[in-house]
Amino acid sequence: MSRSAHGKTTGMGPSALIRRHSALWLNVRVRDGERRRQRHPARPDGPEPLSRGAKAMSDTSAIGRNAGHSWVVGRPGPIDTQPLDFVEREWAQPGPGEILVRVEACGVCRTDLHLAEGDLKPHRANTVPGHEVVGVVESVGMDSTRFVTGDRVGIAWLRHTCGRCCRCRSGAENLCPDSRYTGWDADGGFADRLVAPEDYAYALPVDRAAEYLAPLLCAGIIGYRALRRADLPPGGRLGVYGFGASAHLAAQVALARGASVHVMTRSAEARRLALELGATSAGDTYDKPPEPLDSAIVFAPVGEIVPTALAALDRSGTVAIAGIHLTDIPPLNYQRHLFHERNLCSVTANTRRDGIEFLRLAAEIDLQVTTTPYLMSQADRALSDLAADRVRGAAVLLAG
């Protein structure tokens, strides 16, 4: 979206902006009798089920009406130490302005891995990860007006801002000091159900599989914000470092806008996917791209990549770091990495406006979402595969 077009909504609060887009595809409201439940048959080529948790997730006869199963971060640590615990517990009930959502699918984000391994300090004990949630509203709390029972919704990373500080008033609610997040400050979607504030939910269409929609809610939105922060000019040359869930969606947005995209990643499978999606070139992580870059996005959480990306820039180019966690950046050489007005910036969460813009754009260009599906009972397996770069595209947990 152009800067002038974006400016049309700067005077409108986020909640009003969400309501203003009620005619868009993402704001489809469907009543109980009008909705067809999306089902996800097991794929013959999908991961083999794990014994841990698999039986319990599929057998709900032993639990009460208001109880369900969740994965929680019990003891943060390396993923091979099994930091997630599979537990049974009561569902929370929606309070004022909240909705209770039955989970259809939940994307697996690298942020979930950082939380499980302790790279992100847990904000509360035994938190349920997951913030790329597609589900159906089961009940609504008092004063909830945006959704009714049966509506299909998406629950993303950002779940609360104060609405009063200078950041919120200026349209930068992602920088609100009082911001809170799904799957970090409150329980997320690695579960049967979750409760979320309705003002931070996105209405979703019923004619797309939950497996397709889930990665859009964080990987897609954050990739879109990273692309904006990278300040890619029309028809420019973009470098993408790391090519997982977020990168493979952001690259398609750049390609749709006429950019040349050069992908650098250690995964041979990811390089093949990049070329399939239309990338101009695909090389190893520290390879020099075939032409100077106008912009670059570092998706891999590896600080050593930053000097490489800066050195690949043309004059006045920009590198955006997309992740919430990054290992230390080595010392930079001023002449080699920053001179000629090269820019380095970070990406911090997203605003609801980012989500609305991206979901509309995703529908317009019909993004190809590449996924690796898992049963919800395989959340620990999915995180392990993500850590080992065994996931093609985005990992998605599917309700049994």
Of 48, 230, 37, the closest CA to residue 134 belongs to 37
- pTM as predicted: 0.84
Please enumerate in sequence order all residues whose Cβ is within 8 A of that of 106, keeping only pairs 6 or more positions apart, or say none.
130, 132, 133, 134, 188, 189, 190, 214, 376, 396, 397
Of 76, 93, 94, the closest CA to residue 85 belongs to 76
Q: Are 271 and 248 in contact (CB under 8 A)?
A: no
pLDDT at 23: 37
pLDDT at 207: 93
pLDDT at 264: 98
pLDDT at 153: 98
| Low-confidence stretches of the chain (pLDDT beneath 70) | 1-65
pLDDT at 65: 66
pLDDT at 3: 34
Q: Are 169 and 224 in contact (CB under 8 A)?
A: no
pLDDT at 12: 47
Q: Read off the tokens for 106.
A: 């939940």
Amino acid identity, residue 20?
R
End-to-end Cα distance, the chain:
38
C-alpha dihedral over 253, 18, 187, 89, to 10 degrees? -120
Give the ranges where 291-399 is alpha helix by DSSP (H): 305-311, 352-365, 379-387
3-state class (DSSP) for residue 246: helix
pLDDT at 67: 82
